[in-house]
Amino acid sequence: MSDRVFGGIGLVLALFFGWQASIIQESFLSDVVGPKMFPYIIATVMGIASIYFLLKPDPEPDWPNAGRLAEIGFAALVMLAYALALPQLGFVIATALAATYLTWRLGSRPLESVIIGVATSVGIYVVFRLLLGLSLARGPFGF
């Protein structure tokens, strides 16, 4: 039953994402792909996954204990803090901090988490900003 609820909520969110993407106003100077493509891809993948959960739910889902649920909730708060810190810290620093914390909580050792967080942040910056020329939040150091 819980998988069907999850699938239903996911499907509603996918439809909402798709609708929000459809109302993005495009500049006449936008590239061929445009700003709508990525949200459409996310909405499509989320919609397909949600339909799968609706059609083939797990008969006996294994729910995490209270400690794990609290950790999941805290990870969600970290993502919220990431979104709020992005304009002030910039993409590279905010992403490095969030990725470091999340990889540490997923089981990496602290030093490994720092390396993974920084490498992830710089790697995404190189691909999206330097190679694709997309705009990312600039921090106090200009990147």
Residue 76 lies in a domain: yes
Q: Are residues 82 and 103 in the same domain?
A: yes
pLDDT recorded at residue 72: 92
Residue 141 lies in a domain: no
Q: Are residues 44 and 8 in the same domain?
A: yes
Q: Are residues 88 and 116 in the same domain?
A: yes
Structure tokens, 104? 């540490």
Residue 48 lies in a domain: yes
Which residues constitute the domain of residue 127?
A: 66-131
Residue 61 lies in a domain: no
User: Which residues neighbour 20 within 8 Å (Cβ) at sequence distance 6 or greater?
Assistant: 39
pLDDT tens-place string over residues 39-91: 899 999 999 999 999 999 888 878 789 999 999 999 999 999 999 999 999 99
Residue 137 lies in a domain: no
Q: Are residues 70 and 125 in the same domain?
A: yes
pLDDT recorded at residue 30: 64
pLDDT recorded at residue 31: 66
Q: Are residues 82 and 40 in the same domain?
A: no
- No. of helices (H) and no. of strands (E), the chain: 5, 0
Give 34 or 54, the one with higher predicted confidence: 54
pLDDT recorded at residue 140: 86
Q: Are residues 29 and 72 in the same domain?
A: no
- The domain total for the chain is 2
Q: Are residues 116 and 80 in the same domain?
A: yes
User: Which residues neighbour 73 within 8 Å (Cβ) at sequence distance 6 or greater?
Assistant: none
Q: Are residues 87 and 127 in the same domain?
A: yes
User: Which residues neighbour 11 within 8 Å (Cβ) at sequence distance 6 or greater?
Assistant: 47, 50, 51, 54
Q: Which of 35, 55, 75 is the last residue of a domain?
A: 55
For residue 36, which phi and psi values (nearest 5 degrees)? -85, -20
